[in-house]
Each structure stands twice: as structure tokens, then as C-alpha cells.
């Protein structure tokens, strides 16, 4: 799991060409292009639907472009769609998600870096056993842990609160963060660390002056993973965040599965895109870093 | 002076205290607690009245649970097989030195950047008969076209397979592609000299060589299948009726909706069974591979470790 999990896709080597014949090449591209169209289909439908009016949607031409483009559904999704009883759109969810994502990114990264550093350079006794249990723990279905965590957080009065949901995200991201940093640090030459020790560097000094400054690439990967993972979370937000802090994903589900009134599909699709915008932009902007992060995070 | 050195030696232990707390309390502690609750008669609040295996017996008499297990079994097999086959095909085709490889990879992988709730909602809408794909195809001149699986009790679980395979196979592609690119080019040259057709090379040589990648992908997909929850909530809310019920959702409903935490905990503990069954052979194979690698490795690795201990001991 460790080594293969953290991969980036190598570039194709030159001087390689298989499946030589012309017909085979055409078949190859036909397959890839139709697959690409299938993958893009939901995105396309989401986009065109969000610009249509409800009258046009009722015509049932799912694939057609809007006859008149309108941003009304986007404004409605943002500021007036009903999530359950209140009708203030999903903008509240947006700020809630931000409020959850920021600390749930910073704290797990800090802890992950600290754990990885201690594990790969200092190796305190028993730490490897802890790490092993943590790695196995990464595979425990959350349902096994949820109720005890609810009781624990309720006992310290943090259930249904912002600190509560941040703690929960920190707990569930600990395996991946620790693994990422541990593997990264074990690839750093140990001679560097030894030299710093001989020069009298202590635990914190080596961390802050030597190790962390070299950690920028892995911190970026970890941050992309955390932002995406926490932003896209539904289950934990639903259970632990409390009504005041519901993240965007939970509000989105409430908007769409609210059973009262007619379903405004254009508003629903606009709300879905708005909810997906942050991770999608992150994905398109960060490219290969993102791939590294999610293929590593996929082991979660 | 002595106190200072002792304190300094304790710093690394202090640094991993948060890790230790998380592991012991949040991972080990919660699992033990869930097991304990599953052996009691707790309803909405935990009690200490032990009733042995009663909850497990009740669980396997519960039709909703049995249905959810059946659904999970169908779903897991289809989801894992389809994701792996599609992911591998995409990777193998992309690996043929195609133009615009970057664009294609981006397109295949973007669904994974979105949340399961969001993609579930889009698919729910596209699959709704009166207004979605079915209706659109009818208007194209196929008035008898039918695609109403999402409201069909017998077929609804397949719609969840479609949506989640669409979401996940890009990730599988990315991992498979990395595996393919890790294979020595000499093998391709040799098979070409021997005139072996490409599909045979893939089946008999490349796939076996990719065994570690396949194992990782398999483990990843199967644990994802066991956790299936968000997509079901977004697409069908378990319906129509209880036709698309899955264990994770059964557990959540009984924890928070139906106030039967003992039964829910029994269900949760049962989810650990497939996880352990999958993880144990995987970990064993990994450890086996590692100890093999270690015995084959040169002494360079050992050299690296020994002086480190000496240095740290000498410096304190």
C-alpha cells in the first residue's frame, strides 16, 4: 500500500508506438473519444440545464442547448433556494464549508508533518506499532466509529459544533497525512539529519529549520487532498457539524431532495455546480499535483 | 544537566502524543466501544445490560438488513469488476502514444474531484424517466425507448453501479496507467520480435506483472464499496421503498433515525468482517514481499541505519 499508493503518472516514453495499423489507430481513437464524451456528458447536462428556464426543461430535451441563456437559476441557487425550511440558497453552506475546510486542512497537515518527522527521523519506541494500527484503522468503515465519537464529543460539549467537526476531520485524515509525510521524509537522505544532529540541532530546531523548509511539495499535495476531501465530505458534516455549520454538500442534498413544491431542475443543477466548483477549479488548476494527491488519498 | 538531557529525550515522545491519543481513543477505543454496545440491549442511549449475541441474531432476521447485504454483494461485484475493466481499458488505450493524452486523462479523472453527493444528484436527474435520458431519446424518434431503472425495484441498484463506476474509473485509470508505465519496455520489444499479438501480451504478461497495482486497486474499490452511502442517499435515498438499501445506510438510519444503537452497532461490527477478510491477506502479502526484498537487499540499507543510532546516542 505504501509505495504504490503514492504515485504520479510518468510521461509517455518516446519511440513507442503499438497497435501499428491504420484501422487499429482509428478504432483506438474512436474508443477514447466516445469514452471521453460519456465522461463529459453529466457535466455538459449540468451546465446547459443550469442556463435553461423551467419551461424549456419541461420540454424534456435533455441534451439541447438553451434557447435563451439565463443566469437566474444560478442566482436562485446561490441566494434563494430552499434547504429544508429556510430559503436562503446555499451561500450559507459555502461559508460553512470554508470555515470547516481551513482548520481541517491546517491542523491535520501540521500533525501529519510532525508525526512523519518523528516517525522517520527520531523513531521513538512504540511509534511504529502506533503507525501500523493507524494504517489498519484507515480501512475501518466510518459507521463503526461514528456513534462512539458522537458520545465522546458530546461528553466534552463539542458535538454539533465547528471545533467538533474539525476534530472529526482531523481524526479521519490522520492515517493519510501521517503516511504521506512519513514516506516523503524517508526519501530525504539521512546524512542531512545526522549532520544537523552533530551540529547540536534539537528536535524542534531540525524540524523548523531543516525539514519543514524542504517539505513544500508534499505540503502542497497534502493541502490539495485535504481541501478536496473535506469539501466533498457529506456524511461527517451531516452528523457532526450541527445545524449552524452544515457544509455545502449537505445543504445541496437538502435543496434537491426537499419534497415540497415543484422541482426546479435548473436551480438544482446550478447548485450542484456551485458546490463542485472549489474542488473542480483546484483539479483543473493544480493538474498533476492533484493526481498525486488523490491517488495517494485513494487508499483512504 | 541530567534533567535537561532526559527532558530532551522525551521530546519525540511528546511529539507523537497526539498520534497516540488519536490511535488509542479514536480508532481502537471506538471499535471496542461499538463491539461492546452491540452486545447490549441499548436503544437510543447506551446501557450496560448485556444480552450476548441477541442483536446479531435480530440483525440477521431483519429483512431490511438482509436486503442491504444482498444489494451490497451485487453492487460490490459489479462495481469492482466494471471499474477495473474500464479503468484498465482506458489506461491501456491511453498508453498507445495517443495525441492529447493530458486532455483525455483530465476528462476521465474529473468526476473523482467532485463529491459523491453532487454526482449522485446529477445522475439521479438524468435517470429520472419523465424528464431525463429516457424522455430525450423518445423525442429523438424512439417512442418506445425505456430506461426507468431508477424507479424499478429490481434494477435500481444497477443505476448506482453506473453512477459510481463513472465517478471512480478515472482514478482506476490513473493508477493502472502508473502501473503500465512501470513495466520494462524490453518486454514489449521481445514480444514484438516473437510476433505475439498485443492483446495476448496484455493478458498473459502485462496483467500478471501488474499484480501489486491490481491488488491495491482491488482493495481500494472493495473498501469504497463497503462504505457506499453518499451516492445512495443522493440518488435514491434507499428507494424505491427499501430497494436500494445498503448496510452503511441501514446503520446510519438505526443510529440516528430509529434510535436502535445496539442493532446499528451490530451491523457496523459486521462491516468489519469483510474489511478484515480483505486486509489480512493483503497485509500478509505485503509483509512477505517486504521481508523477501530485505533479505535480497545489499548491506547498504543496514549501513544507513546503524550509524544513525550511533549518532543520536553520541550526541545526547
Per-domain residue ranges of chain B: 57-289
- CA–CA dist A42, B309 (Å, integer): 56
Q: Distance between CA atoms of A227 and A279, rounded to whole angstroms? A: 8
Do B20 and A130 make contact, defined as CB atoms within 8 angstroms? yes
Total CB pairs under 8 A between chain A and B: 298
Kindly state whether B50 is in contact with chain A, defined as any CB-CB distance less than 8 angstroms.
Answer: no
Q: What ranges in B114-155 are assigned the alpha helix state H?
A: 116-127, 133-139
> Chain A residues with CB inside 8 Å of B94's CB?
32
pTM (predicted TM-score): 0.88
Neighbours of B136 (CB within 10 A): 19
User: What single-letter DSSP state applies at residue B149?
Assistant: G
Q: How far apart are CA B244 and CA A218, in angstroms?
A: 40
- CA distances for A132 relative to A2, A125, A128, B34, B136, angstroms: 11, 13, 6, 21, 52
DSSP string, B239-307: -STTTT--HHHHHHIIIIIS--HHHHHHHHHHHHHHHHHHHHHHHHHHHHHHHHHHHHS-THHHHHHHH
3-state secondary structure of B213: helix
Partner-chain contact B131 A60, CB within 8 Å: yes
Q: Is A128 on the interface with B (CB under 8 A)?
A: no
The reply to whether residue A190 touches residue B94, judged by beta carbons under 8 angstroms, is no
Q: How far is B251 from chain A (nearest CA, A)?
A: 7
Task: Scan residues 141-200 of A and list those with Cβ closer than 8 Å to B.
Answer: 141-149, 151-152, 170-171, 174, 178, 190, 193-194, 197-198, 200
A260 phi/psi in degrees, rounded to 5? -75, 145
pLDDT at position B32, please? 95
- Say how far apart CA A58 and CA A64 lie, in whole Å: 12
Instruction: Give the pLDDT band (50/70/90) at residue B208.
Output: very high
Cα separation, A165 vs A167, in Å, equals: 5
Q: What is the CATH number of domain B57-289?
A: 1.10.3720.10
Rounded Cα distance, B48 and B72, in Å: 32
Q: Tell me what pLDDT residue B133 has.
A: 86
Q: Phi and psi at residue A8, in whole multiples of 5°?
A: -120, 155
Question: Is A139 in a helix, a strand, or coil?
Answer: coil
What is the ipTM, given to two decimal places?
0.86
Optimal mutation site among A17, A33, A42, A246, interface B, most CBs of chain B within 10 A: A42
- How far off is chain A from B155, nearest CA to CA, in Å? 21
pLDDT tens digits along B55-83: 999 999 999 999 999 999 999 999 999 99
pLDDT tens-place values along chain A, 300 residues long: 333 334 456 665 544 455 457 888 898 999 999 999 999 999 999 999 999 988 888 887 888 888 889 888 898 889 888 777 777 888 889 999 999 999 999 999 999 999 999 999 888 888 889 999 999 998 999 999 999 999 999 999 999 999 999 999 999 999 999 999 998 898 888 888 889 888 888 899 999 999 999 999 899 999 998 999 999 999 999 999 988 999 999 999 988 887 666 788 899 999 999 999 999 999 998 877 777 766 665 443
**CA A297 vs CA A1, A300, B59, B173: distances in Å:** 11, 6, 33, 15
Amino acid at each position: 500500500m505504501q509505495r504504490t499508493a503514492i504515485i504520479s503518472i510518468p510521461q509517455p516514453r518516446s519511440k513507442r508506438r503499438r497497435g501499428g495499423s491504420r484501422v487499429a489507430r482509428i478504432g483506438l481513437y474512436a474508443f477514447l473519444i466516445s469514452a471521453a464524451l460519456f465522461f463529459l456528458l453529466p457535466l455538459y447536462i449540468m451546465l446547459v440545464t443550469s442556463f435553461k428556464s423551467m419551461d424549456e426543461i419541461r420540454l424534456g430535451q435533455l441534451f439541447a442547448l438553451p434557447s435563451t441563456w439565463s443566469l437566474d437559476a444560478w442566482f436562485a441557487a446561490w441566494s434563494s433556494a430552499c434547504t429544508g425550511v429556510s430559503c436562503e440558497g446555499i451561500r450559507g453552506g459555502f461559508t460553512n464549508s470554508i470555515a470547516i475546510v481551513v482548520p481541517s486542512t491546517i491542523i491535520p497537515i501540521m500533525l501529519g508533518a510532525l508525526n512523519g518527522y518523528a516517525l522517520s527521523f527520531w523513531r521513538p519506541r512504540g511509534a511504529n506499532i502506533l503507525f501500523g494500527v493507524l494504517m489498519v484503522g484507515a480501512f475501518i468503515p466510518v459507521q463503526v466509529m461514528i456513534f462512539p465519537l458522537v458520545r465522546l464529543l458530546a461528553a466534552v460539549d463539542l458535538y454539533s459544533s465547528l471545533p467538533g467537526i474539525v476534530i472529526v476531520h482531523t481524526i479521519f485524515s490522520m492515517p493519510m497525512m501521517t503516511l504521506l509525510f512519513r514516506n516523503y521524509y524517508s526519501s530525504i537522505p539521512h546524512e542531512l539529519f545526522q549532520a544537523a544532529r552533530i551540529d547540536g540541532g534539537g528536535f524542534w530546531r531540525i524540524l523548523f529549520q531543516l525539514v519543514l523548509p524542504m517539505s513544500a511539495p508534499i505540503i502542497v499535495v497534502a493541502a490539495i487532498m485535504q481541501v478536496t476531501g473535506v469539501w466533498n465530505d457529506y456524511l461527517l458534516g451531516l452528523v457532526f457539524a450541527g445545524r449552524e455549520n452544515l457544509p455545502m454538500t449537505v445543504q445541496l442534498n437538502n435543496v434537491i431532495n426537499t419534497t415540497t413544491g415543484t422541482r426546479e431542475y435548473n436551480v438544482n443543477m446550478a447548485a450542484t455546480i456551485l458546490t463542485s466548483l472549489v474542488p473542480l477549479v483546484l483539479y483543473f488548476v493544480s493538474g498533476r499535483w492533484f493526481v498525486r494527491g488523490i491517488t495517494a488519498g485513494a487508499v483512504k | 544537566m541530567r534533567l535537561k538531557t532526559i527532558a530532551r529525550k522525551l521530546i519525540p515522545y511528546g511529539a507523537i502524543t497526539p498520534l497516540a491519543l488519536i490511535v488509542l481513543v479514536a480508532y481502537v477505543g471506538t471499535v471496542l466501544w461499538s463491539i461492546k454496545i452491540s452486545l447490549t440491549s441499548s436503544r437510543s442511549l447506551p446501557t450496560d445490560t448485556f444480552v450476548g449475541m441477541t442483536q446479531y441474531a435480530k440483525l440477521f432476521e431483519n429483512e431490511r438488513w438482509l436486503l442491504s447485504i444482498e444489494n451490497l454483494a451485487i453492487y460490490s461485484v459489479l462495481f469492482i469488476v466494471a471499474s477495473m475493466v474500464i479503468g484498465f481499458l482506458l489506461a491501456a488505450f491511453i498508453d498507445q502514444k495517443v495525441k492529447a493524452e493530458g486532455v483525455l486523462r483530465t476528462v476521465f479523472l474529473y468526476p473523482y474531484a467532485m463529491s459523491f453527493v453532487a454526482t449522485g444528484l446529477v445522475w439521479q436527474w438524468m435517470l429520472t424517466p419523465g424528464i431525463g435520458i429516457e424522455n430525450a431519446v423518445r423525442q429523438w424518434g424512439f417512442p418506445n425507448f425505456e430506461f426507468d431503472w431508477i424507479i424499478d425495484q429490481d434494477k435500481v441498484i444497477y443505476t448506482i453501479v453506473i453512477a459510481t463506476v463513472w465517478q471512480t474509473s478515472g482514478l482506476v485509470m490513473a493508477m493502472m496507467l502508473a502501473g503500465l508505465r512501470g513495466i520494462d519496455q524490453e518486454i514489449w520489444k521481445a514480444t514484438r520480435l516473437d510476433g505475439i499479438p498485443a492483446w495476448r501480451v496484455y493478458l498473459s504478461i502485462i496483467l500478471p506483472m501488474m499484480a501489486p497495482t491490481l491488488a491495491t486497486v482491488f482493495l481500494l474499490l472493495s473498501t469504497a464499496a463497503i462504505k457506499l452511502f453518499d451516492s445512495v442517499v443522493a440518488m435514491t435515498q434507499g428507494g424505491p421503498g427499501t430497494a436500494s438499501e445498503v448496510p452503511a445506510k441501514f446503520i446510519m438510519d438505526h443510529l440516528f433515525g430509529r434510535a436502535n444503537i445496539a442493532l446499528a452497532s451490530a451491523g457496523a461490527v459486521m462491516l468489519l468482517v469483510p474489511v478484515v477478510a480483505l486486509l489480512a491477506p493483503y497485509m500478509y502479502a505485503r509483509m512477505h514481499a517486504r521481508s523477501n526484498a530485505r533479505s535480497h537487499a545489499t548491506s547498504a540499507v543496514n549501513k544507513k541505519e546503524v550509524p544513525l543510532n550511533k549518532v543520536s546516542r553520541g550526541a545526547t
